[in-house]
Amino acid sequence: MWRMISARGEWKLAQLAGRAGLAPRTVRYYVQRGLLPAPVFRGADTTYNEDHLLRLKAIRRLQERFLPLDAIQAELQRLSPGGIRALAEGADAPPLAAAPPTGLGENRARDSGLSASEPTRVAADAPAWERWQLAPGLELHVSQAADARSRALADRLRDIAKHSRAGEKSK
């Protein structure tokens, strides 16, 4: 699944994290989430290579576009090794595969009196997400693939936020 780009340098975890501007804990988390391939384990001699560094830099660039980690993972899977390198080295990020369908989340936000944010573009094989602004600085993200129970919970949270804002206006 993981394609190697090149292996010019090797670093211990703390060195790699420093080069990428991240905490070592974050690097371990990205490995656990599947955003970054695990290094070949060699105990205290475990090292990471340039492929790891390029992926970490590409992740940072995609985070600058406000993509959630699931969408970043899908985007990294879509990109060629050259595309990952170009993204990591500061080239303009390639356009994402497709925009999620809008409609449903926007209708719910409009009907509830809350504003819907601009849709975030995600890779075609990533699940589409609806973004509901519940209050200034607070958004709820709901996958269109969410089950009925999760959607019901999201609706309840939206209603709580709506009633909370209505209560503030009546004071």
| 87 neighbors 93 (Cβ within 8 angstroms) | yes
Q: What is the pLDDT of residues 46-62, one digit of tens each?
A: 999 999 999 999 999 99
pLDDT of residue 124 exceeding 80, the answer is no
Q: Is the pTM of this model over 0.75?
A: no
Q: Express each pLDDT in 72-104 by its tens digit.
A: 999 999 999 999 999 999 876 555 544 343 333
**Domains of the chain from N-terminus onward:** 10-88 (1.10.1660.10), 104-170 (no CATH)
CA dist 39 and 4 (Å) reads 12
DSSP 122: B
Alpha helices in 34-147 (DSSP H): 50-63, 69-78, 81-88, 104-112
Rounded-to-integer distance, Cα 131 and Cα 27, Å = 28
On the question of pLDDT at 5 being above 90, the answer is: no
Q: What's the CA gap between 45 and 41, in Å, rounded?
A: 8
